[in-house]
Amino acid sequence: MTAGIDEPDHRGRTGLDQAGRDLTGHPDIVVRDVELLASGWHVLRRTTYDHRHRAGHWTTEQRETYDRGNGATILLHDVARGTVLLTRQFRYPVYVNGHADGNLVETAAGLLDADDPEAAIRREAAEELGVTVGALQHVFDVYMSPGSVTELLHFYAAPYSAGTRTGPGGGLADDGEDIDAVELPFAEALAMTADGRIADAKTIMLLQWAALRGPFRELHDSERPVATHGSWGTMASSTAGCAS
């Protein structure tokens, strides 16, 4: 008997070696075996499959995948005040990989667990930032690390105000969370993605979306330098001078 396969592991899971065995969507991929390598919290598997290449020959390959479930994240914004509400928390994986102190500024996020994406992100916004979210805007769904991690992350945005901050936030103490709320002017948050103070992928993606297509598009457009006819003429003259 093996925990996580034919008897429950410490989280009550069984059959963890079955994921992917029934896949038929890709005619050039045939799954042969799935091994459970670890299930301490999330699940690490090694899958063996046959792969038919474009030239027609077959190879047998192995890939390890880390399955932590799917998740959701949200950018909370106050357009009238020009601010966004983010989190700051310690992330050991980035600390051990060179980040100065491991404290990342991020959008609120969490795993879906048994919830649908919208319910999950409402739960996370309340737990981490104390915000009761109203109308949600779905932005996009992204595989964040497709080379090894199975997670699909659902991205959302929603307005917030003083009136929607109805709880203390801070995360769940029972889960070891110790989360600070960080309210920033949107322009500063966007600048932080350029100088490295914000180095989290999901947060950068949502801030860029907000500037290019989202709630702060007009503000972002108004701050872009506009080339006038005169400046273009000056540039053209300079270039012509250099060419001569």
CB 82, CB 185: distance < 8 Å: yes
Average pLDDT over residues 95-107: 98
Q: What percent of the chain has pLDDT over 70?
A: 90
| Closest-CA residue to 207 (of 92, 72, 73) | 73
Amino acid letter, 234:
T
Q: Is the pLDDT of residue 230 over 60?
A: no
| CATH of the domain spanning 71-223, picked from 3.50.50.60, 3.40.710.10, 3.90.930.12, 3.90.79.10 | 3.90.79.10
Please report, for the chain, the start and end positions of each structural domain, with discontinuous segments joined by +: 1-67, 71-223
pLDDT at position 229 is 39
Lowest mean pLDDT among 38-52, 124-138, 139-153, 164-178: 164-178
* 90-109: b (≥16 Cβ within 10 Å) or e: eeeebeeeebeeeebbbbbb
Please report, for the chain, how many H helices and E strands are present, in that order. 6, 10
- What average pLDDT does range 96-108 have in this prediction? 98
Q: How many Å apart are CA 41 and CA 11, to the nearest integer? A: 8
pLDDT digits 0-9 by tens, 172-204: 888 888 999 999 999 999 999 999 999 999 999
CB of 43 closer than 8 Å to CB of 16: yes
Determine which of 8-12, 16-20, 84-88, 209-213 has the lowest per-residue pLDDT on average: 8-12
